[in-house]
Amino acid sequence: MSWILAGPIVLPMLAAVVGFVLRGHGGLQKAVSLLAALGLLALSILLMATVWREGVIAGQMGDWPAPFGITLVADHLSAVMVVITAITGLATVVYSFGDVGDKAVSYGFHPLLHALLCGVCGAFLTGDIFNLYVWFEVMLIASFALLVLGGKRAQLDGAVKYVALNLIATILFLGGIGLLYGLTGTLNMADLHLRVREVENQGLLTVVAVMFIVAFGIKSAIFPLFFWLPASYHTPKVAVSAIFSGLLTKVGVYALMRVFTLIFTHDVGYTHEILLWVAGLTMVTGVLGAAAQNELRRILSFHIISQIGYMILGLALFTPLAIVGGVFYLVHHIIVKANLFFVAGVANRVGGSFELKHLGGLYRDQPLLAVLFFVPAFSLAGFPPLSGFWAKLLLIQASLEVQDYVIAAVALLVGLLTIYSMTKIWLNAFWKARPEEAGPPPPPLPAGQRWLLMGPIAGLAVLTMTIGLYVEPFYALAERAAEELLNPVAYVAAVLGPEAAERAASLTAEPATLASEQGGVAR
């Protein structure tokens, strides 16, 4: 299985190397980028099919046995995240052909993009918590370079805030890794699942867990650690903003889901209560920030924050249905949010501005763009039968199951305020007439460039509608992922073998029961 697991990491890494070698040959760079993106999609589908058929799979790099070597693992959550990464990466590559100029291509846009995809896939597939740190750093380096590509003042200002807070997260992450290794003597995540139960100082282990909440919380942009995101995501090229919005914060959410179901389940009543408060405050502050903005990409940036709150809510409630809802929301949101940034880029190209006050008349002039905006925008808001409706429904139902009516009400209120923001964009950019003071619109896009921009938008919109209209297979996938997260016996067996799995089975308790016993959130 090793080559199936390593393929989604190695291919974008090779594409990045070849792309840098071909600097100065823009056409060849683009060809390599497109072929690599298609190859990554094919490998990710193969990985997903293998996991669906065989369950959790693991590979030991260099034949060093776990927990001593480098382990790669794919369960249903990591496999579907690799597939969604490949889809988003392919859409971004195609969109960039119409959005990113030759100058940015010559500076290394395509190899940097594939370096970013390499880091993202590595983070999803690693079975070792130190290597998770390594892949986070690969992502940070590539994303910083993409953020400053072009060297405009606003980009540099946003990049400084982005890197400063992420370096703080790195220090906390490394500190937590060091303490965790000191307490357990291992960094393999399957082995950690067994070893943390033997730690005598459980209070110190809880302190380490909180360090991981803060470190991954910064990378996820949760309350109150999100300030770097709206300061930076509106500054780079639209293609860069789109892939950032789709993937980067979701890697942080994935890391929280992974470690707080596999490793830190010893004090659910404390850690997950923190996550519950964080989820509610993240939803509220993000949506209020979006309501106060009047620039397309700033509105969408704040909505990333509010939607992260829903994903954290699924983890915080820590019941089977809640985890299903969190996983479903995670997958849905990557597609929808990247697509909204793509739409914003086209609106800017045909309307001449990202500012709502300078836009107007796009419904009349660009009817296809208007329709394609409607799909992800109102999916984000939770309109039935789009994918966002099912994701929100699962999480609200999970909240009601544990009788947490306050957080259910918060989730509903944030959904209503999201509708307000999306309606504000619709009315100002698409429905009202173009204001006279904005001047004449830019000249029409050439047909070839137009379809390079519109093609990815249409493709992602179709995928969003497919998830909403044919929800059963996607729900089944989320259910399998949730089952593996809440009962990691199969994960441990794939990495460490049947004897370790028997030990893990003897230690496993139902999450709702565990939370209840410890005064947790599943009340």
Residues 126-148 have pLDDT tens digits of 999 999 999 999 999 999 999 99
- Give the torsion through C-alpha atoms of 102, 104, 108, 112, to 10 deg: -130
Confidence of residue 310 (pLDDT cuts 50, 70, 90): very high
Q: Which helix (H) or strand (E) holds 70?
A: strand 70-74
pLDDT value for 45: 97
Place of tokens 């357990």: 184
Using CA atoms, how far residue 126 sits from 114, 489, 492, in Å, is 18, 17, 14
Query: Token pair for residue 154?
Result: 């606003």
Confidence of residue 25 (pLDDT cuts 50, 70, 90): confident
pLDDT mean over 500-508 = 80
Distance from C-alpha of 262 to C-alpha of 486, rounded to nearest angstrom: 8
pLDDT mean over 427-446 = 85
Distance from C-alpha of 92 to C-alpha of 19, rounded to nearest angstrom: 16
Distance from C-alpha of 460 to C-alpha of 340, rounded to nearest angstrom: 10
pLDDT mean over 67-85 = 95
Confidence of residue 440 (pLDDT cuts 50, 70, 90): confident
pLDDT value for 1: 65
Inform me whether the pLDDT recorded for 16 exceeds 90: yes
CB 501 within 8 A of CB 492: yes
Inform me whether the pLDDT recorded for 84 exceeds 60: yes
Place of tokens 């993106």: 37
Query: Token pair for residue 116?
Result: 């970013």
pTM: 0.94
pLDDT value for 66: 82
What is the sign, positive or negative, of the torsion defined by CA atoms of 308, 311, 312, 317? positive
- Looking at per-residue confidence, does 231 or 285 come out higher? 285
Give me the count of residues in the chain.
523
Confidence of residue 100 (pLDDT cuts 50, 70, 90): very high
